[in-house]
Chains A and B, each alone.
Chain A
Amino acid sequence: MSNTAYAHPDALVSTDWVAQHLNDSSVRIVESNEDPLLYASGHIPGAIQIDWVTDLNDQIRRDYLDRKSFEALMSKHGISNDTKVVFYGDKNNWWACYAFWVFQLFGHTNATIMNGGRLKWVEEQRLITKDVPHYPASTYHAQERSDYKVRAFRDQVLSHVNGHFPLIDVRSPGEFKGELTHMPDYPQEGALRAGHIPGAKSIPWSKAVQPDGTFKPSDDLKVLYEQDNGFAPSQNIITYCRIGERSAHTWFVLTYLLGYPTVRNYDGSWTEWGNSVGVPIEK
């Protein structure tokens, strides 16, 4: 099935499209990974790396960059306001979707995801290089970070729960059920309490992708979210996971592939909710 079945087909490009635009100065290819070694092991020629931890986060507060820092990041990589930014990465574009989401906080709408991500590019035996490109600094003017449309904060989530609005927990079923690993020294996902936010439905993020790493066709996504789980485009939906990265993937699917207009990602996610005093939890 072609991309045109999606609500916003321009939000995706194929590996073929990227291969044809490697030298397109109006395009910047950005790799964002879960594994910090992957970019150094080889990447798409001309691709820069944007790392969630070191590039997109404020290094003191738990928050994202502010406008000036985002502008500096864009300038450093030669990205202008009209540059088409193409994100790709490992884990079926999980972190690529997260970076895409952060870019939306600053209004960079000329952005796409390379369908299939890094694994598809590698498996198609396309060009890979270890050369790290350097681009002339650009001038970039970002809007003030706008959190209200695609981002949810804890108190908003609490109101959402009290109003019986829908949430999607995209973590694994074990995390959703609050199963702990009863083993000495084993890390426990950074939270004092386990379980899920009351009323949330469990739809692991990976259910939206196919074995080759590409997103499922629109019809299959509708079966997953609408037929099997009862969600609808008219709903006000909040997605969450542990720190908001996996749920950015589901946010992307609902917003751009299915065209849901009101979906927010709760980036505080379980590491905030599961450590907050007095908030309701279900198991």
Chain B
Amino acid sequence: MADISEYPETLRDVMEMFEDIDEHGRAEILLDYSSRFQEVPSHIAQRPFPEDHRVQRCESEAYVFTEPNADGGINFYFAVENPQGVSAKALAAILQESLMGEKAETIKTVPHDIVFRLFGKRISMGKGEGLLGMVALLKYFAGLTQKEHKSE
């Protein structure tokens, strides 16, 4: 497991909330985040969402979108097409509330174990991979967007 100090500073408070938490408390916090999920605004992306923005093997049919902001950081958004995809929505809300507008270099430092810290080590392999795929695609697009923005 990565040390909390390896997480971007703006994510550390959230990650600490999940330290030594029982399963009931974990579910309550995650459900609260999922209720705050905000879908990608229509000026960024509209249905049908492009396939290359879809998180592969994510059963919640999640999509990731990014845009550069005026401060040189990255704004990012998610769509979750599965109406019952509450875990994907919770993860999306946590990432957005903690990392929105950060530099790509910062977003790319999110450790791989974020999914297990948030959802618990006993999450199924398939679910864990789908959620980790959301993080991986966000990192990929954040890097790509920053690179394209710098070259303009």
Contact = CB atoms under 8 A, between A and B. Distances in A.
Interface of A: 34-38, 40-41, 52-54, 90-91, 118-119, 122, 172, 174-175, 181, 183-187, 189-190, 242-243, 245, 271
Contacts of B57: 172, 175, 181, 187, 189
Among A35, A183, A184, A245, chain B packs the most CB atoms within 10 A around the CB of A35
Contacts of A181: 56-57
Given A37-B31, A185-B135, A243-B126, 12 more contacts: A34-B124, A36-B27, A36-B87, A36-B127, A37-B34, A37-B90, A41-B34, A53-B124, A91-B82, A174-B56, A186-B136, A187-B136
B33 to A, nearest CB: 10
A34 B90 contact: no
Nearest to A123: B83
A53 B59 contact: no
B152 to A, nearest CB: 23
A34 B123 contact: no
A52 B140 CA distance: 32
Given A35-B60, A37-B87, A40-B27, A183 B136 contact: yes
Contact of A38 (B86, B112, B129, B140): B86
10 contacts: A36-B124, A37-B31, A38-B84, A41-B31, A52-B124, A119-B83, A174-B56, A187-B128, A190-B125, A190-B129
B54 to A, nearest CB: 11
Interface in B8-31: 24, 27-28, 30-31
A154 B41 CA distance: 48
Contact of A242 (B24, B60, B126, B133): B126
Interface in B109-148: 112, 119-120, 122-129, 132-133, 135-137, 139-140
